[in-house]
Structure 1
């Protein structure tokens, strides 16, 4: 018997996938209709979260944030079976994941933070990525179960909260990437380039393939052999800004990048590779 708390797009599809495998699943959602809708697929819905977790040893959580996880788990406490394992897929703060791991252990329960890079389709199909860290014996015992829910489980080692941190790093990249696409479309609009031509460009040229090499170059600490000088990158960036300004199309990300380029040029790095603008943000090795 499994309990699933949080019947959003991710939680509901996780539940459907478990039901397809013949699992018995008890579900709860703050908006009760979302939970009751899963009864059509074979789940048992409960109006009270404490009732939803009764009689189960494994509880999955897919909620909004630290506050909602804390609130719902407190409400679930009266119904929790001794020694129950709480598997939380919510994207939360690193500090919150650490605090919950410790607090629930003190109460006699296992809280296991397992954030995901999975959309609703992945949850239904059992594809995508789950991130884990912390107690390695716990991970070893639960990895087969988690692997059955996703395409790959990535273990980031024994530090509690590391998985939460890596999830935030990944989401940061996705936010920056998407905002960059928005500015790219804005520049295309400014230059009267149709969407079909943008699709043709990126169907043939995949800048994502450059990511590993770009990351290696940025983190090398040596920017003296440029493939694209900062001065030249800044020149092109001004062309973006000028074109958008003439067409009265707002860009969001590019102006901030231009300001950062100017800061590094003023410090005397104009002749170096432009990835030097990330130098101050390098993490420890």
Structure 2
């Protein structure tokens, strides 16, 4: 592959994505705030950069996978001065539209292009190249990055030319995931207390009223109550939910269910469970129900 890619942010999602780009033959320059996360990828053929500027200066495509708006803004302040003209920044983080609008303008001023490209899928999907990409921004730039996105995903959904739309879509999609996890957790707890086999119940759901992919993924995890350290931490989920609420308010929409779920997330976080994976919500609901019985 002729393109050089700078990859910044090697967390639970960034690491497998970068690994697949290296395996696909791209020259990938890696930067992470914690350098030890870079070592394993260097062993696979990646190239370590000591600074963000070093990673970006010769890159045709820059990919960022960061935790929040603050991190994206901070890193972008180091990316922008080093960008070469004509380069493309694929922003895969979950952030607000306002942040992406501002970044798109700053990139344009540098002769570069900002594309919103958040992803749908958990780390196992990233490892298996089975992510979904939510893409928006300049049409010509989107065409150029198609091979890169094909190397890490199963499908890309194009949400038009505005370089921020797909970030809003990502917030809406995550809001739906959180409410489904809440719903499944409540139903599975009710089944447990009613003496109903939860696996049979899930099988019934999937084959009658509720066969959505998110149910297929999270249903078994909720039943097993597996706290995966590489999963979707409650604190990060709560951040996304807050951003969804703020975005809805700004456009004059309401998300009443978001407040219910967020109350539960914040209680889990307050009890020290900010890193607990989403399926552990059922444990919190069980504890709450037992308190009511007492």
TM over 0.5: yes
Judge conservation of contact 2:21–2:148 (CA < 8 Å) in 1: no
Match of 2:91 in 1: 88
* Alignment partner of 1:152 out of 126, 147, 155: 155
Judge conservation of contact 1:64–1:90 (CA < 8 Å) in 2: yes
Displacement of 1:204 in angstroms is 4.2
Displacement of 1:76 in angstroms is 3.0
Displacement of 1:249 in angstroms is 4.5
Offset from partner CA, 1:226-280 (integer Å, 9 cap, x none): xxxxxxxxxxxxxxxxxx99x94479xxxxxxxxxxxxxxxxxxxxxxxxxxxxx
Match of 2:242 in 1: none
Displacement of 1:57 in angstroms is 1.7
Please state if 1:100 is matched with 2:115. Answer: no
* Alignment partner of 1:34 out of 16, 32, 37: 37
Please state if 1:25 is matched with 2:28. Answer: yes
TM-score (norm 2): 0.66
Please state if 1:79 is matched with 2:43. Answer: no
Offset from partner CA, 1:107-143 (integer Å, 9 cap, x none): 2221111111132233333223111123223323333
Judge conservation of contact 2:113–2:141 (CA < 8 Å) in 1: no
Judge conservation of contact 1:190–1:249 (CA < 8 Å) in 2: no
| 1:1-285 mapped onto 2 (5 Å cutoff) | 1-202=4-205, 204-208=207-211, 248-249=289-290
Q: What 5-or-longer segments of structure 2 have no aligned partner?
A: 213-284
Displacement of 1:100 in angstroms is 0.8
Q: What 5-or-longer segments of structure 1 have no aligned partner?
A: 210-243, 252-285
Q: Which has the larger radius of gyration?
A: 1
Judge conservation of contact 2:63–2:92 (CA < 8 Å) in 1: yes
Judge conservation of contact 1:186–1:250 (CA < 8 Å) in 2: no
| CA distance 1:250–1:59, change in 2 (3 Å) | farther
Displacement of 1:54 in angstroms is 2.8
CA–CA distance in structure 2, aligned partners of residues 147 and 8 of structure 1: 21
Q: After superposing the two structures, state which structure 1 stretch, 96-105 or 130-139, moved more.
A: 130-139
Structure with greater contact order relative to length (CA < 8 Å, sep ≥ 6): 2
TM-score (norm 1): 0.68
| CA distance 1:56–1:67, change in 2 (3 Å) | same
Offset from partner CA, 1:139-159 (integer Å, 9 cap, x none): 233334323331111111233
CA–CA distance in structure 2, aligned partners of residues 61 and 55 of structure 1: 16
CA–CA distance in structure 2, aligned partners of residues 250 and 179 of structure 1: 19
CA–CA distance in structure 2, aligned partners of residues 144 and 10 of structure 1: 19
Judge conservation of contact 1:186–1:249 (CA < 8 Å) in 2: no
CA–CA distance in structure 2, aligned partners of residues 84 and 141 of structure 1: 10
Q: How many residues align?
A: 217
Judge conservation of contact 2:116–2:135 (CA < 8 Å) in 1: yes
